[in-house]
Structures are given as structure tokens and as C-alpha cells.
Structure 1
Amino acid sequence: MSETHDMTPELAALRQAVLPAPVGDPIFDLWPPNLADSAPGAVLEVRDITASAAPLVVVPIRQALLFKYRTTDAHGRPSFATATLVIPASPSPMPGARPVVVNNLPIDALGRHCTPSYTLAHGFSFADSAFTDFVPPTTHLAALRGYAVLIPDHEGPLMAYAEPYVAGHAVLDAVRAVRDWRADEFGASRFAMTGYSGGAIATHGAVKLIDSYAPELAPFLAGAALGGVPADFEILARSMNGNLASAVFMAAVFGIARERPEILTRMNHFAQWVTTSPMKDQCISVFALPGVLLLPIDIAANIADPLRSTLAQDIYEVTRMAGLASATPLYIYNGEQEFWIPAEGARNLYREQCALGVTAVYRGVLGEHIIAAGLGYPEAVLWLDERLRGVPAESEC
């Protein structure tokens, strides 16, 4: 379990109370002993889930493997994560090692039962399984193409929704795990990442951490496509607060607080009651509903104007990950009519990465979040396919 020795007893107790409840499956619940003795990416446990995953993937697969591996939390401490590797029944579409699509799904959840690997291992649930695990059908199309698909549960064991360091580490360590654990099949593979919305948070975190955290992966990472990009939470504090998206925004703040408990010290009694209630284990289909009340985050804070506080500025700064260059080419797209995740953040990310010398492309597409997800998807997938086929990326900076 993440350390609490540097907290007051009151804060440590609150932090413990807001963590996600066990789901009754040890691979998701149990912290392995002696994690510090394992290297990041070391596989700790493996389960064959082909029987339950195959009907959900639909296209023929050879195997689906759920695995648990060592990763690192937001503060550099040992942690673990889970991921699923889907291997298609068809041969690789090209000579040599089979390419791998890293599908960073928009988990957007606070409970462990909401993760894609839980669904693949335990079956589809209308209450818990996310529609976005299957639409757009990235996993299905990639497997049909003959690519393996790696699906990280990138929120980690604390379900730290929206925390980019946790997610970035989990994604990169999932790649490390597959390359080392299945070296005969994937040790020389090209990997390409994709993620939209909450999945773009993970992809954004991963590409900016390659150089510092997993530089040995850079030659094998062919590119990353990210859309509907929540790259700057200061922008989202203006666009998602006090409207229909406010409950999602508050859940993201709470998810980050699980890794950054200084946020918990700014929660009032009402917020503490909510975040220690069954709401702490809900998926987005439930916790988004209070957004109809159009409540601002101020109702949950014990300080005035919390989104302009010094603490908020510190969180904006650390989660923006400013000045870190991606070590892989980028394809960035965003709806130009976005009102909850404005294109401003994606365009700023593109300009930042261009200035840092990164090979990058930006596409502004028609529509808000959902329409843009559909209209921007085909070109993003074609771009990813070219990267996995070894076509060099061209920059439009």
C-alpha cells in the first residue's frame, strides 16, 4: 500500500477511507509483497482470460492474458497495475515481430470493477462496463488487422482517475512487461499508443515520461495518437465547473487526490462524506449524474475560491507536465466546437511539442466531444497503422 507515514493521523485515516474498496478478485485487490524488489515492468501474476474475453473481442483471438506488474506511483514509490494482452488468431500482417497497439481506454472511473480488464476477465456488465471500451472498436479493428492489443488499466490500484504520472508509468511499464515477459514474440515489436479523452490523459502522461522513465522503449515506440485531449486542467477548471460536466470534474479532482492527498486537506465535511460513501467506487455512468445539479466545486471545499488557490495552481502545474518532450511522434486531434475539453489545450500541447522538436501533427475536427471522437477517429487510426507498418512519421510543425 502507498505510504502514509508523512501524513498526520487524521489525514492518513481519511486517505485510507477514500481509497477504492476491494472487488473480491486478488489480482486487482492485493498488493504484492516486496514490490521494491521487482524492477518496473516485472510481471507478478498472469491469468488466461481467453474464455471470457473472446466473446467481447468478437474477432478470432488466440489468447487473452490478464497480467499484474510492478509500476511506480506519482511520487516514485513502487506500485502495481494490471493490463490485458489480446493476441489475435491471425498471423502478423507483416514479416518479423507482430506489432502491438497500446489501447489506452478512457476508464474515467473510481471503482476497480470499472476497468477494462475487469470486464474482460469477468464478463460484460451493463452497470459497470464502459461503452467506450468497445466504441470506437480499436481493439477489434487492431486484432482483425493482425496486431496484438495491449490494454492497460492505467489508473493503478488506487484508481487515481486523471493523474497523468500514475497513468504514464502504468502504460510504459505495461509495454516493458510485454516485451520482457513475451520476448520471443514481442521483444522486437513496434508499439503504437492511442487514447481519447480519459485515455488521452494516459497517453499524454506516457509520451512525456518516456525519456526520463523508460528511455529504452523509445526505439520501439512508433507513435501516439491522442484526441479530445485534457492536457491542461486549469482550462478544464473553467470549462467543466458548475455545469453538466461538474460531477465528472469533481471526480477527477478526487481521483488525483488519492495520489496527492494534500487535496484531501481542502475537502469540507460534505466532500468527506461523499468521498467515503459508496460513490467512491462508482463508474462514470453513476458519478456523472449529479452534474444535472450544475454544482460548482466550491461546495466541496473548505477554502474560498478553491480553483484559484495556491494548491490548485500547484496541481495545474504538475499535471500539465510542461516542457517535457515526447520521445515518439504525435498525432493530436480535438473537436473545434468542444465546450468541455476545449481545443485550446490540444493546440497548446501541439505548439509546445513542436517547439521542443517533436515530430507532430494537429487536426482540428468538426464537433464537440462525442462527434469529434467519431469524425477524428478514422484518420488517427490510419496514422497509427502507418506507424506500425514502419512508415516514418512526417511533421507538420
Structure 2
Amino acid sequence: MRISTHSLALGMIACLTFGLTTLIGAAASAAPPLPQDDPFYAAPLGYESTEPGTILRSRPVTVAALNLLPVRVQAWQLLYRTTDFNNQPYTSVTTVMVPEGPVRPRPLLSYQTAVDAISGMCSASYSLRQGSPIDFTNPAGPLTASAGAAEILLAASGLARGWAVSIPDQGGVDNRFATPREPGYVVLDGIHAAEQFAPLGLDGMRTPVALWGYSGGGIATGWTAEMQPEYAPELNIVGAAVGAPVADLYGGLRAVNGGLLGGLIPIAVAAISKDSPEFAAAVDRYISPEGKALVADVIGRCTSQTALNTTLHELIRHYGLPDLTRYLNVSFDELFQDPVIKAALDERTLGQRAPTTPVYLYNNVNDEVSTVAGSDALANSYCSQGTSVTYRRDQFPPVVSPHVNFAVMGAPDALNWLAERLDGQATQPGCDTRTVTSTLLDPAAIDTLGGSIGAALLAMLGQPLGAGR
């Protein structure tokens, strides 16, 4: 899709005007009930005896961009049976979408959002619904929104191409984050559920499936690609685009500390503590009361809230950016040598299994969260185990936050690579690793960026996406 600068400017003006009008109306409307108060999320009796991927409940929904602007697609939510990280029955919800128009077989994009939080209001299924959760009486205001509300604009690029899209709650109904293996199970069973859902019109397990995610979504996508050979080899997954997946947790925790995104550290601690009482007890021995309060504060907040609150706390109390070492009675090195803490981090490190589907891995060399050294090691691990890997190390200079910027700037090349896989183009065996000035310098990526902007504008303006495709 090509759009002129003039039409883009007009579209943006119209979008802003429409968005402000909608914002005023939506602010006064009631948000949907939170997942913990919504009967739809409750697992029915006896679900444990069903097969993973079984649809337990479904409902049509209206999805929205940025919490407010209805997106013109057909959309439903599916509650389905899956498996947790202890191999026990578990449930999750995925939001599935297709363009308006006739039902027909089409490819499926499973898009994993960066829901780096452990609160139900941050889940993709909740934040994708119109009107949730904007609350101007809340001190955090619109920052209660999670990544799903914004990343629908990236998923819109797939819908504009005529693909079906599934956006799963990769943390499941217990809203976990940084959990090993489980995100892979949840995403794979979300794909199973989508392929069984008749209104989507997919071709069952013959449906070509692409995986995509960045940051926290990249972690979930990495787990999905790694777990698929043993958990769901029957699925026709043709490629996985894994963006900035924080493959080196040790390096990531060190790198993010002292920066604008230092608030991610309390999220990680709270998330792993939710999985492991042993980890929580170990951390408790090394952290001060003020540090414990910061960790406790993230439990009911989404990522943007946590990052902002932590930064404000540090600026007000300590006149600087978040440096979490001030709350420890040992150094990071000593903390990471605690056997319980080390085991928990090791278990959550990608690269210990080999995907059989081709992987497109992308990371900015200046990323302050997902270190390029970690992605280098992940690429080498996959390559040495026989995975076909296309790895792009992007050198675009830092602008405030390379991690945040590259979520958008790296998307067009990732989307093009996925489109080639869904079109049946094979990758070369082995590894294709390149360090580039910017993946956006590829003319095809620039063209796709224009199309993605056009798709985002159409989504925000309530125009149909991918109709007739």
C-alpha cells in the first residue's frame, strides 16, 4: 500500500480530530469488567479433561486501537484450555480477528504483545476491548493501558494484507510474566483454538502460521518457537519474527539499571516471585524495605505505570534515574550467584532448545534492555542446533530509548520477512547475520512502513482493514 505525504497528513489530521471526539465520549463510558470480575474468564467445571487447544467459551467483541478507536474487523475472544509451566491444565484467552467479508481460508498471524505485567487489566484481551481501561479519576490516567492497546496498530498490518490475526494472553488467566515454557504452550494452544473456530474460516492445521512479537512479546514468541517441536509439531508454523527478546537476563538486568526503563526490574522480580516462592524468599534476604515496597507496587500496575512511577519515585527520593542497587545489601554479581536466584534466571533463558521453524531475529546494537550480546548468543545457539536464522543487528543511533524506538523501526523488515514465509518462500539453511545501519534503509521496508502507517490510520479512523483480500 503506497500513500502520499499529502494524504498521510490529511489522514493524520482527520484521525486526531476523530480521536479527540471519541476520547471525550469514551471517557464517560463504563469500561468492561476487569477479567477477575468477568465470568467469561472463569474456567468451566471439568475443563481439565479436555484436550489442549479446546475452545471452552467464545464471544464477539469490538476491538479498539489505543483503547478508544473501534477497529473495523470481525473479532471474537476465545477461552481455551492450555498447559501451565508445571504441565498442569490451565486456561487462557485469545482475541482473534479477520477482515470483514466472505469467510475463506487464509494465513494466520499469532501476534504476542509486550504485556510485561502481572495484572489482569494489562492483559491483551482486556486492553484490546473498546473503552478499557481509560480512567481519568486514576492518578495514572490513560497509562493504565497495556501494550495490546497500541500494538493492535502493528497487527493491523497483517489484517490489511488479508491475514487472520490471533493475539493471545500469553500469561494465561493468572497473568504471569517471565515464566519459562508456559508462554509457548499458551500461544500454541491459542493457535489450535483459532484454527478450530469456524467463523474464522481457517483451513485447520494446514493453515500457514507466522509468529511475531517484540520485547516481552519477543520473549513469548521465542518460547513458542522453541516449544513447538515437542508440544505442537502438527502445527504448520512457517516462521517466527523475534524482536529484542532479552535473551541475556543477567545482562539485561544490569543494562537497564540506572536508566529510564529501570522500572522493569521490579516487574521482573515480582513476576518471578509469583512463579516461585523460593525465589521470593531468596530475594527477600537481599532487599531493603523500600525496595520491597517498589516490588509490591507493581503488582496492580501495567508496564507504563510501573516505569513512570518508579522513575518519579527515584527522582523525588534520590534525585536520579532508577538505580535498584541502592536497595540491595549485595552487588548484582553476588545476588546472581545465589543458587536459587541463578537457577530461576537460568530456567528463563532462551536458546536451550532449537526451533524447527525459520527465525528472523532483530535487535538494536544500542538496546538498553535486550542487549545485543544476548541476541548474538541466541542466534549462535539456534544456528549451532540447525535452526535457519536471519539475524539483523541494527545500528540506528540511540534516540531516548533504542529499545522502544526499534519496536516501530524494526517492524517493517520483520513484517516483510513473515510475508515471504507465508507466501511459501523458503529460507536458506544456516545463518544470515548482518549488521546494518538501519533495516529501514531497505526500499521494501520503507514501502512497508508506508503501508503500515496507512493500515494504522485506517484502523484508527474506523475504516475496514483488508476487506476483499
| TM-score, scaled to structure 2 | 0.72
Deviates more, 1:344-353 or 1:120-129: 120-129
Shift of 1:243: 4.0
Partner of 1:110: 118
Q: CA separation of 1:248/1:55 partners in 2, compared to 1, >3 Å: closer, same or farther? A: closer
Is 1:232–1:320's contact at 8 Å kept on the other side of the alignment?
yes
Partner of 1:86: 97
1:205 is paired with a residue whose SS is helix
Deviates more, 1:171-180 or 1:254-263: 254-263
Partner of 1:299: 327
Partner of 1:189: 207
Is 1:90–1:146's contact at 8 Å kept on the other side of the alignment?
no
Deviates more, 1:243-252 or 1:34-43: 243-252
Is 1:266–1:301's contact at 8 Å kept on the other side of the alignment?
no
Partner of 1:203: 221
Partner of 1:14: none
Over 6 Å off, 4+ runs? 51-57, 300-304
Partner of 1:3: none
Q: CA separation of 1:222/1:243 partners in 2, compared to 1, >3 Å: closer, same or farther? A: same
Q: CA separation of 1:239/1:382 partners in 2, compared to 1, >3 Å: closer, same or farther? A: same
Partner of 2:186: 170
Partner of 2:421: 387
Is 1:108–1:161's contact at 8 Å kept on the other side of the alignment?
yes
Structure 1 segment 316-395 matched on structure 2, within 5 A: 316-367=345-396, 368-395=402-429
Map Cα deviations across residues 320-377 of structure 1 (whole Å, 9 max, x no partner): 1443010211000000111222111111111111111111100011232123223321
2:37 is paired with a residue whose SS is coil
Aligned-partner residue type, residue 172 of structure 2: G
Q: CA separation of 1:127/1:374 partners in 2, compared to 1, >3 Å: closer, same or farther? A: closer
Partner of 2:53: 41
Q: Distance in 2 between matches of 1:355 and 1:337?
A: 25
Is 1:165–1:205's contact at 8 Å kept on the other side of the alignment?
yes
Deviates more, 1:147-156 or 1:175-184: 175-184
Q: Distance in 1 between matches of 2:329 and 2:185?
A: 30
Q: Distance in 1 between matches of 2:218 and 2:64?
A: 27
Partner of 1:10: none
2:410 is paired with a residue whose SS is helix
Shift of 1:302: 10
Structure 1 segment 161-310 matched on structure 2, within 5 A: 161-182=177-198, 185-187=202-204, 188-217=206-235, 220-268=236-284, 270=289, 279-289=298-308, 290-291=310-311, 293=314, 294-296=322-324, 299=327, 305-310=334-339
Identity %: 28
Would you say how many aligned residue pairs link Structure 1 and Structure 2? 369
Is 2:266–2:295's contact at 8 Å kept on the other side of the alignment?
no
Unaligned residue ranges in structure 1 (runs of 5+):
1-20
Q: CA separation of 1:178/1:297 partners in 2, compared to 1, >3 Å: closer, same or farther? A: farther
Aligned-partner residue type, residue 284 of structure 1: T
Q: Distance in 2 between matches of 1:299 and 1:158?
A: 28
Shift of 1:132: 5.8
Aligned-partner residue type, residue 55 of structure 2: V
Map Cα deviations across residues 54-98 of structure 1 (whole Å, 9 max, x no partner): 99686632x201111111111111111111001111568xxx721
Q: Distance in 2 between matches of 1:55 and 1:312?
A: 37
1:85 is paired with a residue whose SS is strand
Structure 1 segment 23-172 matched on structure 2, within 5 A: 23-28=36-41, 30-50=42-62, 60-61=72-73, 63-90=74-101, 97-124=105-132, 125=134, 126-130=142-146, 133-135=149-151, 137-172=153-188
Q: Distance in 2 between matches of 1:222 and 1:57?
A: 32
2:105 is paired with a residue whose SS is coil
1:216 is paired with a residue whose SS is coil
Name the structure, 1 or 2, with higher relative contact order (CA <8 Å, separation 6+).
2
Q: Distance in 2 between matches of 1:234 and 1:206?
A: 22
| TM-score, scaled to structure 1 | 0.84
Bigger CA radius of gyration: 2
Shift of 1:276: 5.3
When the two chains are superposed, the root-mean-square deviation of aligned CA atoms in Å is: 2.8
Partner of 1:16: none
Q: CA separation of 1:249/1:274 partners in 2, compared to 1, >3 Å: closer, same or farther? A: closer
Shift of 1:263: 1.4
Is 2:253–2:369's contact at 8 Å kept on the other side of the alignment?
no
Q: Distance in 2 between matches of 1:130 and 1:147?
A: 24
Aligned-partner residue type, residue 422 of structure 2: L
Is 1:230–1:346's contact at 8 Å kept on the other side of the alignment?
yes
